[in-house]
Amino acid sequence: MGYRRARKTCPACQVACMAAVILCFLSGGSHASDLRRSPAVCAVESAQPAVVNIHGQKTVTWSQQERQAAEAARRVNGMGTGVVLDERGYILTNFHVVDGVREIQVTLADRRNTIARLIAHDRQEDLAIIKVDVDGSLPTIPIGTSADLMLAETVIAIGNAYGYEHTVTQGIVSSLHRDVQVSETQYYEDLIQTSAPINPGNSGGPLLNIDGQMVGINVAVRAGAQNIAFAIPVDRAIAIATRLLSAQRLNDTWHGIVIDSEGGDSEGAVVRQIQPNSPAETVGIEPGDRIRQIGRVTVKRALDVERALLGLAAGDKTAIEIIRDGNSQSLELQVAASGRSSAAPPRTLSPLQQKTWDVLGMSLEPIPTDDFQQRQTPYSGGLKVISVRRGGPADRQGIRAEDILVGMHGWETASDQDIRYIVSLPRLSEMGPIKFYILRGTDTLYGHLRVPRRVSNVMPTTR
């Protein structure tokens, strides 16, 4: 039987709570309000400044069963919650909170109102990054881990419940690893089930542990039930946020650092891999190093690396502090252009390649059968991504050069004939977001491409 890692209490909260108890004891109990400052109160005080409320109007389309000869759509007031991940105003929320919202209105914890813009999203995982531009730095949410959650441990939800901003509720972890189908199109895997009451408007808000650290993103509630709610585990949510906020995705810059997925600690985040010929390799960073600081950002996880390098242009330099063999070293990292996306295809393309570039936003080439079979995958073949069009459908979903496209919708993509059939479909753009599957290293990833309607699906019959 293994031993569970002792949880680290937030030092500031621990000191404040202990001081309040000591003060009350020394004063003979005259400071009753200090004695009421429980760990739950401290947890909320620690996290609440980084919680925002989201409002907006969206159009909801009724299903066939709901229509009943009434109006085909109706306007509703959308509401939700978000958490600040970066002091410059990058906020994590559920994608369904902002999907279709004409104007994303955000109320900060200090009551300031502002408008946010959608930066990136993952429809399947139901997560999105939005950005507000405000004066000064915003407080950021303390991030914990969902890896060591215990059944029955206390959790706290903060959210914009039914428009009642910063509503706080408390419960316990009821179960772990729940799979939940909430609609015909939305299915969640591996959720946290909790008894903390949540309501419409809580979506995108934090689920906290008793130390005030975010351990989940509240996402759904069981209709008609009492105190059955669900949250996306924070470890998965932060991994997705890291991808959505990556400097390569948003700035088209490259650093080449791959951080261990287990995260780090006060000594920094552990480097798992350095990509060949990358800026990180050039400056001398090695696997096993711990990155403690990049610029002004203290690094504990992969998200911190991306936050620190976000906004730097190709050629910009920043200080980086690493720990190697117990010794601190100061280096200077110069980010480079990623070459992941471009405004134009890299070379003269055939009619099929040009059509793929226009429709999907990427150029592809077949992989020889023998080479593909050496990968020992369940797929019969794939098409290698050569380049990605900046701002195109593939780029918006984070597809990169060197990825291997192995499937789209219900079709495999093992040959030119496969991709020809797909991009030539007359009503491809009307099929909605098209699910795709790619191989990246040893991982199989998926997402949803939205094909622009303005692209003609007529193409020459010649190659």
Per-residue model confidence as pLDDT tens digits over 294-318: 999 999 999 999 999 999 998 999 9
Question: Helix count (H) and strand count (E) of the chain?
Answer: 13, 27
Helix (H, G, I), strand (E, B) or coil at 225: coil
Give burial (CB, 10 Å; 0-12/13-18/19+) of 151: exposed
Concatenate the DSSP letters of all residues of 312-358 into one string.
PPTT-EEEEEEEETTEEEEEEEE-EE--SEESS-SS---HHHHHHHH
Instruction: Return the pLDDT at 460.
Output: 34
Instruction: Return the pLDDT at 65.
Output: 44
The residues, any chain, with a CB within 8 Å of residue 120's CB and separated by 6 or more, are 128, 129, 244, 245, 249, 250, 396
Q: 203 catalytic, yes or no? A: yes
On whether the CB atoms of residues 144 and 92 are closer than 8 A, the answer is no
Instruction: Return the pLDDT at 458.
Output: 36
Calculated CA dihedral for residues 383, 389, 393, 398, nearest 10 degrees: 70
457-463: long-range pairs with CB below 8 Å, 24+: 457/359, 457/423, 457/424, 457/425, 457/426, 457/427, 457/428, 457/429, 459/351, 459/352, 459/355, 459/420, 459/423, 459/424, 460/351, 462/351, 463/350, 463/351, 463/352, 463/416
Q: 255 catalytic, yes or no? A: no
Which candidate in 55, 96, 121, 255 is catalytic?
96
Helices within 58-179 (DSSP H only): 64-67, 95-98
Centre a 10 Å sphere on the Cβ of residue 119 and count the other Cβ atoms it contains: 16
What is the C-alpha to C-alpha distance for residues 369 and 382, in angstroms, rounded to an integer? 9
Concatenate the DSSP letters of all residues of 255-268 into one string.
--EEE-TT--BTTB
Both tokens assigned to 125: 């995982």
Below-70 pLDDT ranges, the chain:
1-33, 58-78, 263-264, 339-349, 453-463
Buried/exposed 51-71: b ≥16 CB within 10 Å, e otherwise:
bbbbbbebeeeeeeeeeeeee
Give the bridge partners for 334, in sequence order.
Answer: 317
Which candidate in 34, 86, 122, 126 is catalytic?
126
What is the C-alpha to C-alpha distance for residues 262 and 403, in angstroms, rounded to an integer? 24
Helix or strand holding residue 251 (H, E): helix 247-251
Instruction: Return the pLDDT at 267.
Output: 82
Domains of the chain: 154-238 (2.40.10.10), 253-337 (2.30.42.10), 341-449 (2.30.42.10)
Which candidate in 46, 146, 203, 341 is catalytic?
203
| pTM across the whole model | 0.70
On whether the CB atoms of residues 140 and 85 are closer than 8 A, the answer is yes
What is the C-alpha to C-alpha distance for residues 198 and 111, in angstroms, rounded to an integer? 22
What is the C-alpha to C-alpha distance for residues 308 and 211, in angstroms, rounded to an integer? 26
Q: How many CA atoms lie within 13 A of 106 on its CB side?
A: 30
Q: What angle do CA 32, 33, 39 make, to 5 degrees?
A: 110
What is the greatest pairwise CA distance in the chain?
A: 91
Instruction: Return the pLDDT at 6.
Output: 47
Instruction: Return the pLDDT at 51.
Output: 98
Calculated CA dihedral for residues 81, 86, 89, 95, nearest 10 degrees: -40
Give the bridge partners for 324, in sequence order.
Answer: 327
What is the C-alpha to C-alpha distance for residues 263 and 271, in angstroms, rounded to an integer? 10
What is the C-alpha to C-alpha distance for residues 256 and 16, in angstroms, rounded to an integer? 41
Both tokens assigned to 162: 């039914």
Q: What is the DSSP letter of 178?
A: E
